[in-house]
A = this chain, B = another copy of it.
C-alpha cells in the first residue's frame, strides 16, 4: 500500500508563449533553473521574458548582468519586443544589478585563491541578496554564469562554490533563472560542464541546421518535480515575444 500525501507545487509563468503547458504550469516556485545555449540562441530574451512576465503580474524581479551593460540589455530587449524596461524600473517592478568582473593583479597562492573564491561567491551572493531584499523580488535572473564558471579553475571547487550560490538563492525564496553559454561546437550543457548538476531544471536553447536554414529550438532537458515534455520544440522570436511553435501546426 502506498502512503499518499499532498505535495503542492506552486508554479511561475515563464513569459514564453506556449511553454508553460509543457512544464505543468511553469517554473517551480523557489527553484533555481538553467537556461543553456550557444551564443545567439536567445538566452537573454528568454530570461528577460521571465522577469517581464512577472512584472506584468505585479511580481518584482531582479535582473543581474555580469557581462553586458544595463543600458545595452534594455535597448536590445526594447528593440526586439518593444518592452519599456525603464518604465518598469520606475514602477519598481524590475531592478537591474550589474556585477562587472575585474582583472586581479596580485599573484596568488592556492590558499589565497580558495580564499578569493569564497569571497567572490560570498560577495556576489551578498550583492544579489541586497538587490532582492531591496526590490522584494520574487524572480531573479543571473545572465550569465559563464565568467563565474571560468573564474574557478578547479572542477571540485567550482561545483562546491556553485552549490553554495544555489543554496543561498533558495533561502531567499526567489525563483531564479541562470544563463549558461555553451561553446559553438559542443554538445555540453554549459561551458565547464558543472553548473547543470546544481540546478533544478535545464532548458536548452539551440540553433541547428535544417537543410540550408538554421532553426531555433527548445528542449526541456531536466525538470525536478515535473512530468515535463521531452520533445524538441521549434521556437520563434517575434515582435510579440518568444513563442513555442506547435509541432502539429508545421506538419
Report which A residues bind B (CB closer than 8 A): 1-5, 7, 9, 39-40, 56, 67, 69, 72, 75-76, 78-80, 82-84, 87-88, 101-111, 114-115, 117-118, 146-147, 150-151, 155-157, 159-161, 163, 167, 170, 181, 183-189, 193, 196-198, 202, 207, 209, 212-216, 219, 221-225, 227, 230-232, 237-240, 247
Contact = CB atoms under 8 A, between A and B. Distances in A.
Given A5-B84, A39-B196, A103 B160 contact: yes
A103 B161 contact: yes
Contacts of A185: 186-188
A212 B247 contact: yes
Contacts of A156: 101, 147, 150-151
A2 B82 contact: yes
Given A79-B225, A237-B227, A39 B84 contact: no
Given A79-B225, A84-B3, A232-B209, A150 B159 contact: yes
B9 A79 contact: yes
A9 to B, nearest CB: 5
A230 B214 contact: yes
20 contacts: A3-B83, A4-B84, A39-B196, A39-B222, A40-B222, A72-B170, A101-B163, A103-B160, A104-B114, A105-B118, A146-B159, A151-B156, A183-B193, A184-B187, A207-B230, A212-B232, A213-B230, A213-B231, A214-B219, A227-B238
Contacts of A238: 227
A22 to B, nearest CB: 12
A240 B227 CA distance: 12
Contacts of A108: 110
A225 B84 contact: no
A107 B103 contact: no
Contacts of A207: 221, 230
A3 to B, nearest CB: 5
A52 B219 CA distance: 31
B184 A196 contact: yes
Contacts of A237: 227
Given A183-B188, A214-B219, A221-B40, A2 B69 contact: no
Contacts of A84: 3-5
Contacts of A196: 39, 184
